[in-house]
Amino acid sequence: MNELAESIWEIKGNKAGKTLTIVGGTHGNERTGVEVVLRLKAMVESGALQIKRGTLYLILGNPRAIEINTRGSEPFHDLNRSYPTDLLRREPDGTYENARARLIAPLLQKSDVVIDLHSTNKPSEPFLACLHSARHEEVYKWFACDKILADPNFVLGGKSVTTDEYTVAYGGIGICYETGQASDTRRVLAVAQGVLGVMQDLQIIAHKHKPVPLCERETYELVESILPTTANFRFAEGYGNHSWEPFYVGDVIGYDGDQPRKVSYDGMLVFPKEEGKVMGYLAKRVEADTQP
């Protein structure tokens, strides 16, 4: 095992093969991903996990934020909005997150598959945040959840800026797996088993794992963000408590000052916030047919 930089480890097999990158702790308070990466690292060190071919990268995305158990370092910069496709052609901006992204980006570029393990600030069922395609499905079949949230129009960042989007831009398969609420680490073992299944499919390891039972996954796409025009936006009763809250045409989901925020379509509220420039996101269900 070779530590390329702080909390970035490279493990190479004896034969050429695929490259898989597992990232945890892109946001430091999202503990499941951190624990999965450390668990896999310990398995490699003990010999319980042997890389036969190809390359495995294990990454703790934001060590400073992990140490203080916050979403980002101080002052806050979002590491998962730090990967524009031209990142390495830009001048450094002096932030810690930008420096980390510059260390990680070359590994994402050469990865066949990248799995970035996240969690949500408010309660949520597990779900996948990635493109919905046949290529992606071959990877995410190993993770237990029944919802996929795609962002083909870059509602989250306005352009390609996340780890999975950056990976896709360079020809790989990028997946963000939201494992549940940030402080809930009950799924560490199940998530680690899913990662081992991906390694098996890529022939990085020789172990035999069974994928999670097939389920009917619902596919959603982000439509818009909730951008308040006043500082005292508040959600209406029944909204803003957790991800995947359903809403229907004509519902009032919140109040921007005294003005009600109505919706004009059926959908789901995801990633609700307590405060900030963006208070959450609205998603619509789409046809489940996968693309090549």
Domain boundary assignment for the chain? 2-201, 222-286
Q: pTM for this structure?
A: 0.95
* Class level of CATH domain 222-286: mainly beta
Helix 188-201 × helix 31-46 angle, to 10°: 60
- Average confidence (pLDDT) over 123-143: 94
Rg value, the chain, Cα: 19
Percentage of the chain beyond pLDDT 70 is 98
Tokens standing for 118?
């996240």
Nearest 5 degrees, angle CA 178-CA 139-CA 170? 90
Query: Given pLDDT bands bounded at 50, 70 and 90, which one contains residue 289?
Result: low
Q: Distances in Å between the alpha carbon of 148 and those of 187, 247, 283?
A: 18, 18, 11
Q: 21 and 113 in contact (C-beta within 8 Å)?
A: yes
Residues pairing with 175 in the sheet: 115
Name the CATH superfamily housing domain 2-201: Zn peptidases (3.40.630.10)
What are the phi and psi torsion angles at 269 (to 5°)? -90, 130
pLDDT tens across 29-42, in order? 999 999 999 999 99
Contacts of 228 (CB under 8 A, 6+ apart): 256, 277, 279
Instruction: Report the mean per-residue pLDDT for the chain.
Output: 95
Q: Measure the CA–CA gap between 241 and 244, rounded to whole angstroms.
A: 10
Judged against a pLDDT cut of 80, whether residue 121 lies above it is answered with yes
Judged against a pLDDT cut of 90, whether residue 276 lies above it is answered with no
Q: How many residues does the chain have?
A: 292
Judged against a pLDDT cut of 70, whether residue 290 lies above it is answered with no
